[in-house]
Amino acid sequence: MRSGKIIFMPLGGAQEVGASCYFLKLGENNLLLDCGCGSTHGIRFAPKFNALLQTPYLQDFHQVSQIFLSHAHLDHAAALPDFLELNERAAVYMTDLTREILSVQLEERFDKIEKNISSVAFLQKIPLPNLRISFHQAGHIPGAMMTLINFRGKNILYTGDYSTFPTQLVGAALLPEVKIDILILCGLHARHPNYRRFGDSDSALKKILRKIYYALRRGKSVYCQVTQISKGVELITLINKFLPQAEIFIDERVMKIVHRFENLHIPIMREQNHPLSAFPRAPCVFLSTKPPPPRSGMEILNGDFSLHDDFAATVEFVRRLNPKTCVVVHSPPDKFFHTGTTLEQVLINDPDSRTSFIFPNTCVPFEL
């Protein structure tokens, strides 16, 4: 008889952000959910692929036949070329938009993996041996998808990074209308009870906008460094909307992705937006993925912000889906507050919640 066991093991990105890569064994099917890289103090780290061969579940990397890539952020996608060196046959599923953004993110490394990619669309269903799989809009950034897998009558939903609110560039997540048995949740703020997103007076995006506004009013230029190129595009859209007079100069890498978006009919640029060729006169905004030039006299701004559900929205999301099991990954502990309150502790007191929680550790397999 064929095995119906469900085994899950994070290879990275468990109780941390970076190198998100989750091994999921569904009977005979071996899948990877995402394949990203992380970095600590500027040193890149990849998922621990080799740990898989030390388990009874895999003897050879070629036994992994499918990879589902939720979105183009590097912490979910940058180790794809590394894994495809170990297994050149694996099929990689992602949306067209993710493919476009990824081609800019990975630069020449993208050429090596392109032949493995199959484009999928939201609500498309693909039949694989013993599995039925469909894809759903996840919000967060353009192209981001959730993956829903039906295995032996059980519905397993992998969220990837998601948002239940619309952002400047993409609508809110659209959830599948089926009962979810197992939820694999990228719960960035599941352990951050004090974190609230945009709309709150101290959200990161509002702070960035406020700083830009006051600097420009004082006649100064602002150098805004972004960690992810797609976040650069998000910021351009936001500045265009709330500070329509601001002149923005955009670096080459961010500009590349702007053009990809516009080719896919997502308009970004306005008259006040220019490619960064020379440093023009103040006041203006520079948007770049590179560090600022030394002694430029500009205001330096960290352009990082979160496109994730905050704590309250995370609780609401899980309450609404009410899965039997919720595996929480991509979930760093709270650096600033040690209240200890987690998503689990809120829902444990909710009489309507049937969910039991697992906060797994990297390289520790368990049966679901």
C-beta of 14: minimal distance to Zn ion in Å? 12
C-beta of 188: minimal distance to Zn ion in Å? 7
By beta-carbon proximity to Zn ion, the closer residue of 13 and 283 is: 13
By beta-carbon proximity to Zn ion, the closer residue of 73 and 136 is: 73
Q: What burial class does residue 75 get, using C-beta atoms within 10 Å of its C-beta: 0-12 exposed, 13-18 middle, 19+ buried?
A: buried
Q: Give residues in contact with Zn ion (CB under 5 A).
A: 73, 75, 161
DSSP letters for 285-320 = EEEESSPPPTT--PEEEE-----S--HHHHHHHHHH
C-beta of 167: minimal distance to Zn ion in Å? 11
* 290 to 101, 248, 312, 367: CA distances (angstroms): 18, 16, 34, 43
C-beta of 78: minimal distance to Zn ion in Å? 11
C-beta of 96: minimal distance to Zn ion in Å? 18
CB atoms within 10 A of CB 166: 11
* 303 to 87, 207, 289, 290, 331: CA distances (angstroms): 37, 10, 9, 11, 22
By beta-carbon proximity to Zn ion, the closer residue of 139 and 323 is: 139
CB contact at 8 A, 188 and 161: yes
Q: 6 φ, ψ to 5°?
A: -115, 115
Can you list the alpha helix ranges (DSSP code H) found in the chain? 74-77, 80-86, 96-106, 109-113, 204-217, 229-242, 252-263, 311-321, 343-347
By beta-carbon proximity to Zn ion, the closer residue of 100 and 161 is: 161
C-beta of 70: minimal distance to Zn ion in Å? 8
Which amino acid is it at 322?
A: N
By beta-carbon proximity to Zn ion, the closer residue of 76 and 216 is: 76
By beta-carbon proximity to Zn ion, the closer residue of 61 and 311 is: 311
